[in-house]
Amino acid sequence: MSGGLVDAYDMVVFDLDGVVYLIDRPIPGAAEAIERLRGDGVPVAYATNNASRRAADVAALLTGMGVPATADEVLTSAGAAAALLAQRLEPGSPVLVVGADALRAEVRDAGLTPVETFEDKPAAVVQGYGPDVGWRILAEAALSVRAGATWVATNADRTLPSPRGPLPGNGSLVAVLRTALDRDPDIVVGKPEPALFTTAARLSGAKHPLTVGDRLDTDIEGATKAGTDSLLVLTGVSGPADLLAAEPERRPTYVAADLSGLFAPAGDSSIPAAETTSLGGWQVTVSDGAVTLDGAGRPVDALRLLCPHTWAGATAKAASPEARDVFSEWGL
């Protein structure tokens, strides 16, 4: 082992979209990082809110990208939602499925009956992301929930990362029903709820896992709820401006540009104490409710240095040309 951040943990639980790949394209360096973990004997698991693929399909996708994976290492919100419904409903109960074929298959494998219309009298509606979800099935779902069906959402991610930028996610489709019904789902299964993380740790016997994600509102908040440390990588949805404004439950233990941060010393990714005034070539001064960034260095180091001050309510300002460039890149 290399004396890196990951050495303090007995397992790494990865989010997928925005961490390992973007839709169907591997993120540079991700396959090599995971292969290095495997070579060092570190157990890994993958926890995804995307309900459009089954665990075996996700494992096959990863393997095709050069990331060897098995189905039992993958936990999906679709599988978790189907398992929850199977615990609550009688075997064979009709469940209206809003989502992809993968979610229907999970419902069927859980001993329930996938249906498509209000006339089928579903006992529950389960809603997950599917690229072909449209008005017709949403209308059937709305009628069913109004008639008393339990409404379960696999997850509430508003967006999905993509090479072209964020795209509407399941949370955006859930919002359609929320608006029509003037109510929230009865249950949201996936992150930021902790079940995917705690299940991954339980299955591997891990006592001190590390969660790696790209979203503050799902991965990092979920890790906080599960009581695990977390690493935010800046390769997906949440960016520097989001991190600087993060609420306490969405603040990661570490932040790195990408997965290479797993193998650097923990101090290269940790959030410094508020008393720290310089880091990696950057300096900050605090006065009259503002924190001013000066100097030059890696943007991620500037971000780490600023976090404890903006989290305490300070307004961030730039002094040097390099700091102004970084702020412009961050959209500040």
Find all residues with CB under 8 Å of 85, minimum gap 6, and list them.
93, 95, 107, 110, 112, 124, 126, 150, 152
- Report which residue type is found at 187: I
Rounded-to-integer distance, Cα 234 and Cα 257, Å: 5
Angle (CA) 183 127 99, round 5°: 145
Residue 166 DSSP symbol:
-
Of 297, 298, 224, give the one whose Cα is nearest residue 261. 298
Put residue 252 in one of left, alpha, beta given phi > 0 → left and psi -120 to 50 → alpha. Answer: beta
Rounded-to-integer distance, Cα 86 and Cα 82, Å: 6
Quickly list DSSP for 20-33.
Answer: TEETTEEPTTHHHH
- CB–CB of 118/144 below 8 Å? yes
Kindly state the greatest CA–CA separation across the chain.
66
- CB–CB of 255/232 below 8 Å? yes
Active-site positions read 15, 17
